[in-house]
Amino acid sequence: MEWKVTMKIKNRKDSLKQPFECTGYWWLPSQPETVRAGVFRFAPEQGVQLELMGRFNVPNEDGPIEIIYGRSSQGDQLTLLGCRPVSMQFHQGGFETIPHICEIAFVGNFQPTNDLIFSKCKIRFEHIEQWADSKYVKNVSRPSDGPHTFVVETGVRGELTCDEGFKVYLDGSFTSTSNDHSIQLDAFTSLVIEPTESKNLDWFMLKAKTLQNLASLSFGLSEPFYSFRLLGNERKISKNISDIEEINVYFWEQSPVYKSRGSYPLIQFRRFEFARPDILNLWSSIQLDYQEVIDLVLIVLAGHYTAPQVGFLMVLQAFEAFDRVSYPRTLITSEAYKTLYDAMLAAIPSGTEKAVRDKMTSVIKFANEPSLRQRLKAFYEHFFAELGDDPLGMSKKDIGGIVDTRNFLTHYPIDLKPKSLPSEKIVEETDRLCIMLIMSILEKSGVPLTTTIRGVDLHERFRRFGIGYLTTLRANEEK
């Protein structure tokens, strides 16, 4: 029999949301004989820091150090990347102490080589259990005088594959501690990214971020990383015992200040298996095309309530960016507009001041593009064709109020002030545009609007736009 052991990292938190620190000894890969004592710290707000007692012998003392190796007093092996000393130094007990800010830290049971190649990645984020629809622990009924039993179901739950040569799946695990009087059980889900061939750190970071964006849109809210773990090779300890190289990755992540009210997904991970099993083939390019739109929508959803007008303008900026990427078009042909453009420029009187002439030229330059009103009308008509009357509660007359409010908030013409929306209506229209943009981006990835609309009815934040859709869809399916 052969035993496989995963070396656990001791006496610390493995979460990107929990601070921790450890003492240890540190050296450069090229100078293993020069060892310095120091303190490693991680905090979600500051990222990775290292305080070294003394300096390394490097040509540029103030420049970045690519890699620093370390070993903690608890026996963990640490690898720090992109370490830069800060300007402040201080002395402690006769030793010069130099603080460093580091981009990334690896903490685990091995130190990766300089190529930073790994076999797979396991990530967790805020609502991953809801995305996986995880229900691991079951209470098994027993006679009143018999033992009471809990069953924990773990393992792979759902899988998506990509033609690029990797697969993504949900993996259920658990940890437990017990004594004669009590037991503590924690079951959890990880999202595993497993390529057919080992990949470097940049590849895993990029894929993880891509999937984080997909999860965020699936929930309609930002999903910050809770943990990030990389696995290396399997190593033989003895003839019948082997262990798996495993490290936790630590870095600073910009995350939203405010958490969303909703945590029920618009579309669960397992739903992609049925609605769009090849979504990973499309998602990387889709995310690249719409990254600015995704970022703006998630920022708005994270905390625009402190300033409704700002959130409103940001989501309209996101909408125009989406429309320009999705439906590049002009009102007339470029050739026809060139004639018109030249005629309009020629009509500007020769004595016009330069500032006025430049402004008029700029306005004329973009006059062949659809207006916000025209873009919103086309957007509405697409949803109308797919979902029917007043899609997500939006009517044609709402378009005028949105346009007038945007124009008032950007130009402040006094005649538009009475036509601009009140604050509570601005919040409503902002949320509605957010969910419509989320659904539209997922639609570009091959997920029909009629699939994502199912989740709107159940989403705490967006359900006011979707009540009745799920009932109607189910009734149509039964016919």
Please write the tens of the pLDDT for every residue from 136-179. 777 776 666 667 777 777 778 889 999 999 999 998 887 777 78
Residue matched to tokens 């420029």:
345
Q: What is the pLDDT of residues 339-379, one digit of tens each?
A: 888 888 888 888 889 898 888 888 888 888 999 999 999 99
Query: Which residues are within 8 A (CB) of 190 and not within 5 positions of it... i.e. 6 or more apart?
Result: 122, 123, 124, 128, 170, 171, 173, 229
In angstroms, the CA 68 to CA 85 distance is 12
Query: pTM of the prediction?
Result: 0.85
Q: Are 37 and 72 in contact (CB under 8 A)?
A: no
Residue 441 has pLDDT above 90, yes or no: yes
Residue matched to tokens 């990775």:
48
Give mean pLDDT, residues 213-236: 91
What pLDDT score does 243 carry?
83
CA atoms within 13 A on the CB side of 14: 20
pLDDT-based confidence at residue 435 (cuts at 50, 70, 90): very high
Give mean pLDDT, residues 395-414: 93
Q: Is 10 helix (H, G, I), strand (E, B) or coil?
A: coil
Q: What is the pLDDT of residues 269-317, one digit of tens each?
A: 989 988 899 999 999 889 999 999 999 999 898 875 567 899 999 999 9
Residue matched to tokens 């002030």:
417
In percent, the amount of the chain with pLDDT more than 70 equals 89
* Three-state secondary structure readout of 127-182: CHHHHHCCCCEEEECCCCCCCCEEEECCEEEEEEEECCCEEEEEEEEEEEEECCCC
Name which of 191, 190, 208 is nearest 199 in CA terms.
208
